[in-house]
Amino acid sequence: MHSIKSRKHAPSRFHQHMSAALATMLLPLAAGASDAPPAFDDAASAPVSKVEVKGRQENDFKAERASSPKYTEKLVDTAQSVQVIKKELIEQQGALTLTEALRNTPGVGAFFLGENGNTNTGDAIFMRGFDTSGSIFVDGVRDVGSISRDVFNLEQIDVVKGPAGTDNGRGAPTGSVNLVTKKAMLEDAVSGSATIGSAQQKRLTADVNTVLNDKRGIALRLNAMAQDSGNAARDVVKDKRWAIAPSLGFGLNGPTRMVLDYLHVKQDNIPDGGVPTIGLPGYTSPDRTRPQISDAPMVDPQNFYGSNSDYDRITADMATVRIEHDFAPGFKLHNIARYGRTNQDYLLTAFMGTSANIGTTPDTLGTPEAWTLVRNTRTIKDQSNKIITNQTALTSQFGTGALQHTLVTGLEFTSESQVSYSYIPASLGTVSVAGRTSLYHPDPGAALVGFAPTRSGAYNDATVDTQSLYAFDTIKIGDKWILSGGLRADRYSGDYTAVAATIVNNATTALTPTHFKVGETLVNGKLSVLYKPTANSSVYAMAASSKQPPGASFTVSGNLNSAQNPIYDPQETVTTEIGGKVDLFREKLSLTAALFRTEVKNEVEQDPVDLKYYQTGKKRVQGVELGVVGEVARNWLVSAGYLYMDTSVEAGKVITAGGENALTYTPKSAFTLWTSYDLPFGLKVGGGARYAGRLLRGTDGAVGTPAYADSYWVVDAMASYAVNRNLDIRLNVYNLGDERYVASINKSGYRYTPGTPRAASLTANLRF
């Protein structure tokens, strides 16, 4: 849980201009915690007798700490790869969604489009070789629903690399993403932005904070956003949404602080199912009798192969209560309670580019412009997610002889549920001329036959209850050594009901229920040792574990080849990491380096001799990650990272379409850079580059499709001008070289998502 804070946040470019006027403004707030407080800050409960103003070491790009109370030390003294992406970096880049903001982390992205004709929805994030979509948190609480998250209400994003099982319980093998929201503060401030751009982009945001009672520490903050935009890479696709996020704080300058938050989001989008991979490098004809298809040109990446009747409608609500109380110096209580609900109603007209679905005649084989494509896969998601949770953590500081302890103990109770409904029929029905569209000039208004979105009576209903107990102890031995250990136990139980429907002549004739129960106690641990050669540097070694039980993704299967079958043990992960960190230039610039290895076992594999299934599979990801973030010189900021990964299947069958022993949808090398410079006359210039190595796709028996997507470079640029103290204008230009690239590819390789071509946006920012 992010600490509730009340200190005024001065922009880094004004470090050199701190004055007596600023000191006067800070006086009423001097009792508050810093932007990223230590494990315990007793200033809020102590009388103010003296205020000493010093230049802040933190800047617009570099954070001092992660937000979670489980991370009690500064980032430089944290024995794990943790990257904090601050809102100032996100704003400079004009990033609007979580997926776009995570481009600042090398090798993290939405690389996988989906499988079996389906398309992933929301933030389908891969990190270090594994799907991390189910390990996205908001202020330390697991987020619900497969939606695309907007950044309008975010203060920062904490990206934790390696198993987070000790921190959060069940989760992805290779890390988690925590979104830190904006909260009420003791400062009157008003800001807003208006953006126009390519693809008819239109967006407004507002952020208003007012102090209602300074003496009692009561403040109200309201964030709001509205957007109605197309997609620069695609025809027809639409991103339309609005949201409001009020936050009310009490006692922000006292020993007991409470903040009430609410978030309401509405989305009404037209989703994107991708474009055919025909003509891409590695593509060959799926039909040996028509080799001419191998030589066909690429389709226009702008083409939209869905229907005008497609939609993605989302309603999300989240109510949160946060309480912090300082009992005494070195003794603090954190509590967060939340109710969240997300409803998604989604319909996408998609396709499979099989030989049967690519239509030609003997007369048109030499004329690709006359070829047709059958869109006979309609993907429907009618799903509701809910979460109710209460998390309590107690932070204690004490000494035992020469050892100084910071102990964090916690108790969590969480109930999550998901209900999803099925429809009839599953496809468009009869494949006829009316169900076809031009392969090179698709018509989204063409008639679709044999389909009406009607519930079949089939559904899946899953409830997952978890009770968790954990403890973290950070032990300082003098000023050189820091030992840290953590242990977490989760009592996990799932109740699943799956009702299947028998369909005859597009009508339900029978419903067959199946019931599953899953129960497991998961124990995870983390252990590290850190040595500080100097006050602002460290070297460390860390080992941590994570577990993912069957049914963790609200899906249970009775199939023996599925890891979601309750008869199987949880997937187990162990990560080891050694690394070093150093803060330079008065702690304004951070350099990090880490060598890591992650091993995942208990993967379900079929024995080639007896053809039975066993949990003998094992995968490995190992590599090196380098990072730099902060102020290189006065007015010059940078955020950059490089990642190299060597991935392999250590036991089990190879999973790539090309037969390489590696993990899918995982670039071997990745690089990201963003830098900006403030010129003395109010002009700021900046830019960045991103590189992603080639992506190997999975194998599912598809014929003729590319086995991988090529590597690519993308270069962006930014310039902003401060018209006056209240207004600045920012221009962002994306993909300066108009690079054509594959952003994501589906498992069969029939479809891909094109990367955004050259595009631009112009934003006016107001601050008072």
pLDDT given at position 753: 95
Q: Which of 44-53, 65-74, 309-318 has the lowest mean pLDDT?
A: 44-53
User: Token pair 């009672």 is at which residue?
Assistant: 213
C-alpha angle 260/185/89, rounded to 5°? 105
Q: Is 701 exposed, middle or buried (0-12, 13-18, 19+ CB in 10 A)?
A: exposed
Distance CA 296, CA 749 (A): 16
The total domain count for the chain is 1
**What whole-number distance in Å separates Cα of residue 79 and Cα of residue 81?**
7
* Choice between 449 and 160, residue whose per-residue pLDDT is larger: 160
Q: What is the pLDDT of residues 82-110, one digit of tens each?
A: 999 999 999 999 999 999 999 999 999 99
Whether 641 maps to a domain, the answer reads yes
- Measured between alpha carbons, how far is 341 from 665 in angstroms, rounded to an integer? 30
Average pLDDT for 125-139: 93
Return the SS3 of 379.
strand
Rounded Cα distance between 372 and 357, Å, is: 8
Assess if residue 381 is contained within a domain: no
**Mean pLDDT over each residue of the chain, to the nearest integer:** 89
| 238 part of a folded domain | yes
Tell me the mean pLDDT in the region 702-726: 96
User: Is residue 378 in some structural domain?
Assistant: no
The burial class, CB within 10 Å (0-12 / 13-18 / 19+), for 126 is: buried
Q: Tell me, what's the pLDDT at 427?
A: 54
Q: Is residue 501 part of a domain?
A: yes
How far apart are alpha carbons 477 and 614 in whole angstroms? 46
pLDDT of residue 53: 44
Can you tell me the distance from the alpha carbon of 563 to that of 381, in angstroms, rounded to the nearest whole number? Answer: 23
pLDDT at 17 over 60: no
Q: Output DSSP code: residue 755.
A: P
Confidence of residue 553 (pLDDT cuts 50, 70, 90): confident
Query: Token digits for 141?
Result: 């609480």
Q: What are phi and psi of 748, to 5 degrees?
A: -75, -20
Residue 380 in domain: no
Range scoring the smallest mean pLDDT among 46-50, 347-351, 621-625: 46-50
Identify the CATH number of the domain in which residue 640 sits. 2.40.170.20
* Residue type present at position 506: N
> What is the distance between the alpha carbons of residues 204 and 432, in angstroms, rounded to a whole number?
45
Q: Is the pLDDT of residue 288 over 60?
A: yes
492: in domain: yes
Q: Which residue has the higher pLDDT, 120 or 744?
A: 744
641 or 608: which carries more pLDDT confidence?
641
> In angstroms, rounded to a whole number, what is the distance separating the alpha carbons of residues 113 and 636?
37
Sign (positive/negative) of CA torsion 366, 290, 117, 510?
Answer: positive
Work out whether strand 175-181 and strand 136-138 pair parallel, antiparallel, or are unpaired.
parallel
User: Which of 6-10, 484-488, 710-714 shows the lowest mean pLDDT across its residues?
Assistant: 6-10
Residue pLDDT, tens place only, 137-195: 999 999 987 889 999 999 999 999 987 889 999 888 999 999 999 999 999 999 999 99
Rg value, the chain, Cα:
27
Distance, CA of 228 to CA of 419 (rounded, Å): 29
Q: What is the mean pLDDT of residues 597-606?
A: 95
35 in a domain, yes or no? yes
Q: What pTM was computed for the model?
A: 0.90
Q: Is 559 exposed, middle or buried (0-12, 13-18, 19+ CB in 10 A)?
A: exposed
**Residues composing the chain:** 768
Give residue 426's pLDDT band: very low, low, confident or very high (50, 70, 90). low
Are 626 and 592 in contact, with CB atoms under 8 Å apart?
Answer: yes
C-alpha 262/C-alpha 267 separation (Å) is: 17
- Lowest mean pLDDT: which of 181-195, 447-461, 652-666? 447-461
pLDDT over 60 (residue 737)? yes
Identify whether 425 is preceded by a cis peptide bond (ω within 30 of 0). yes
- List, for residues 398-411, the tens digit of each pLDDT value: 999 889 999 999 99
pLDDT tens profile 354-366 = 999 999 999 999 9
Under the banding of pLDDT at 50, 70 and 90, the label for residue 323 is: very high
Cβ-based neighbour number of residue 381 at 10 Å: 18
Nearest residue to 247 via CA among 342, 324, 321? 321
Q: What percent of the chain has pLDDT over 70?
A: 90
pLDDT for the residue numbered 379? 86
Tokens of 564: 């979601």
Give me the DSSP letters along 611-648: --EEEEEEEEEEEEEEEEEEEEETTEEEEEEEEEEEEE
Structural domain range at position 121: 12-371+386-448+457-767
Please check the confidence at residue 494 and state whether its pLDDT lies above 70.
yes
In the block, tokens 């401060």 appear at 722
| Mean pLDDT in residue range 674-692 | 96
Kind and range of the H or E run holding 168: helix 165-168
Position 165, amino acid: G
